[in-house]
Amino acid sequence: MKKLAYFPGCAMKDQARPDEAGTLHALAALGYEVAEIPRWNCCGTVHSLAKDDLMRHVGPVRNLIRVQGMGEKRVLTLCAMCYGTLKRSAQFVREEERLARINAFLDTEEDFRGGIEVVHLLTLLRDEVGYEKLASRVKRTLNGLKVATYYGCVLLRPREFAVDDPDRPEVMERVVEALGGAPVPFPERMECCGAYLTVGRSDIVTDRVGRILRSARGSGADLVVTTCPLCQFNLAERRPPVAPTLPVLYLGQVLGWAFGADEPANLFPLGGAR
């Protein structure tokens, strides 16, 4: 078993529980001993794009300090948003002067020494597990189910933190393929769902979600998968009345199902694929 520090984030303990359950089931089957980091706090969801953004790195860096305290060198995230903020902060403190400023502010914590790597489930599956091993361990095949792979924004942008080529990503498609599905790389797969605008401007998000779902359906998909709980919420809750009734699942749910995890009721499109 290979030990792997894991930062869940709020969503995995709430709305995205099925994502976490499925992913952890699959990772155990793939030989990982996943250890949740202690006393973790919210990642902040959205990173600041301003120059004076020190404060926004405080939360993520605290989590990296917890990883350091476990004696680990890297940390796994499942949520696209958590990946974005933690990855960005891990990069931010690579500069000595910034690291010193953060440590000066975090005067009640042990000093952060840097050097923690943040990995997303997708990059772990690609770079360490490998598509072939993934395919060879699958217990239930998706049997050619047409799966629309929705990346959204944070997994691919900015370029320096992208899990794959931000112009032509394929990692999610290759994972779906390894699980026996037929990936549908639909035109809107890299376009934003509207994210947090859902709180005050649901009209905009509803417009975006309609376009995304029509694009996926138009490309022949039976199902949409995502790794972002905010995308999942918007795609499920902000559908325009005339939008295609495509189910939207977390990648972890599909992964868990393929590795034989108990089947929650909402996985009907997968059940149909047997």
Partner 1 sequence: MASELNLSRDHLEAPFSRRVEELSGENPYACYQCGKCSAGCPFADHMDALPNQVLRLVQLGDEAALRLSAPWVCASCLACAVRCPKGVDIAKTMEALRLLSLRRGITPAPVVPDRPYPQIALVGAYRKLTP
Partner 2 sequence: MNEVTVFIMGKGYHVPEGLTIMKAMEYAGYRLGRGCGCRGGYCGACATVYRLRGDYRLYADLACQTPVQDGMYIAQIPFTPAERPPYQLADLQPRGETLLSLFPELARCVACNTCTKACPQKLEVMDAVQAALRGDIPQVAELTFDCVSCGLCTMRCPAEISHHHVWQLARRLNGAYLTPRALHVQKRVQEVAAGVFKADLDALLSLGKDALVAAYKAREIES
Name residue, tokens 């999610």: 172
CA 122, chain centre distance (Å): 8
Judged by CB under 8 A, the number of residues near partner 1 is: 44
Distance CA 224, CA 246 (A): 7
- Comparison of 199 and 265: residue with beta carbon closer to partner 2: 199
Residue 128 beta carbon to partner 1: minimum distance, rounded to whole angstroms: 26
Per the CB < 8 A criterion, the answer to whether 42 and 73 are in contact is: no
Distance CA 219, CA 222 (A): 9
Residue 197 engages partner 2 in binding (rule: CB under 8 A): no
Per the CB < 8 A criterion, the answer to whether 33 and 4 are in contact is: yes
Q: Is the dihedral of CA 247, 192, 253, 26 positive or negative?
A: positive
Residue 201 engages partner 1 in binding (rule: CB under 8 A): yes
| Among partner 1, partner 2, none, residue 49 binds (CB under 5-8 Å by kind) | partner 1
Judged by CB under 8 A, the residue of 58, 99, 182, 236 near partner 2 is 58
Residue 6 engages partner 2 in binding (rule: CB under 8 A): no
Residue 42 beta carbon to partner 2: minimum distance, rounded to whole angstroms: 6
Q: Which range of residues in 35-43, 128-136, 145-153, 185-193 is near partner 2 by CB under 8 A? A: 35-43
- Comparison of 109 and 191: residue with beta carbon closer to partner 1: 191
Judged by CB under 8 A, the residue of 6, 7, 32, 40 near partner 2 is 40
Residue 233 engages partner 2 in binding (rule: CB under 8 A): no
| Among partner 2, partner 1, none, residue 269 binds (CB under 5-8 Å by kind) | none
Residue 229 engages partner 1 in binding (rule: CB under 8 A): yes
Left (φ > 0), alpha (ψ -120 to 50) or beta: where does 34 sit? beta
Q: Within 13 A of 216's CA, how many CA atoms are on the CB side?
A: 30
Nearest to 71 by CA among 106, 26, 45, 35: 35
Name residue, tokens 């047997």: 274
Residue 245 engages partner 2 in binding (rule: CB under 8 A): no
**Contacts with partner 2, residue ranges (CB under 8 A):** 10, 13-14, 39-42, 44, 55-56, 58-59, 62, 105-106, 108
